[in-house]
Amino acid sequence: MYIDISDFIANENELIYEDSGSCSINSTNQSLVFIGDVTYDILISKADRELILNLGVEYEYKKPCDRCLVEVINVDFVEYSGKLANETDVEDFDDTSDIIFMERNKINICELVKEIVILSIPMKNLCKDTCLGICPKCGKDLNKEECDCEIESGDLRFSVLKDLRIDEEV
């Protein structure tokens, strides 16, 4: 979905543009499911000769805990800001990291919202900070019940070295 801000840019007396809406985002990751549409509030302001975009994005998603695999529902709100410029003006900028490029004064808002959402999802998803996870031997959820398994500590890659015997007569 595109937002056309041509009239806003042309009108010198108008200093602020506001809009809100929603976008549907489908995840390519099977363990991540978005619940409902992603909502956004957009505010564009004129500052000197620049257009400043401020975007607030709210979304809800379901993803399993990385330790115990229990489904967790999370709600997140992300704020993003950057400068707007047409694609033809790319040479005018030394650093384009905070530039949002438009196509003929049109912003592809759902693509921008999708990008912001994907970058804001945490790498690690936990049901709680104190999650104990699943026992690697018996598979019990250690948050719900204890197990009697003996778990060897240390790095398994070095387990072969524990049987190594060194002669002291060298």
| 140 within 8 A of 147, measured Cβ to Cβ | yes
> Left, alpha or beta for 126 (phi > 0: left; psi -120 to 50: alpha)?
beta
pLDDT (mean) for 74-80: 95
Instruction: Output the pLDDT for position 169.
Output: 67
Which residue, 160, 167, 132, is CA-closest to 146? 132
Strand pairing of 71-86 and 99-102?
parallel
For the stretch 87-142, pLDDT in tens is: 766 666 565 567 888 888 888 999 999 999 999 999 999 999 999 999 988 889 99
Query: Residue 103 corresponds to which amino acid?
Result: E
Instruction: Output the pLDDT for position 94.
Output: 61
Sign of CA dihedral 127, 129, 130, 136: positive
Whether the model clears a pTM of 0.95, i.e. scores above it, the answer is no
**What single DSSP character describes residue 17?**
E
pLDDT (mean) for 24-38: 88
| 134 within 8 A of 141, measured Cβ to Cβ | yes
Which residue, 21, 64, 15, is CA-closest to 39? 21
The rounded distance, in Å, linking the Cα atoms of 83 and 81 is 7
Mean predicted lDDT score pLDDT of the chain: 86
For 119, phi then psi, to 5°, come to: -75, -20
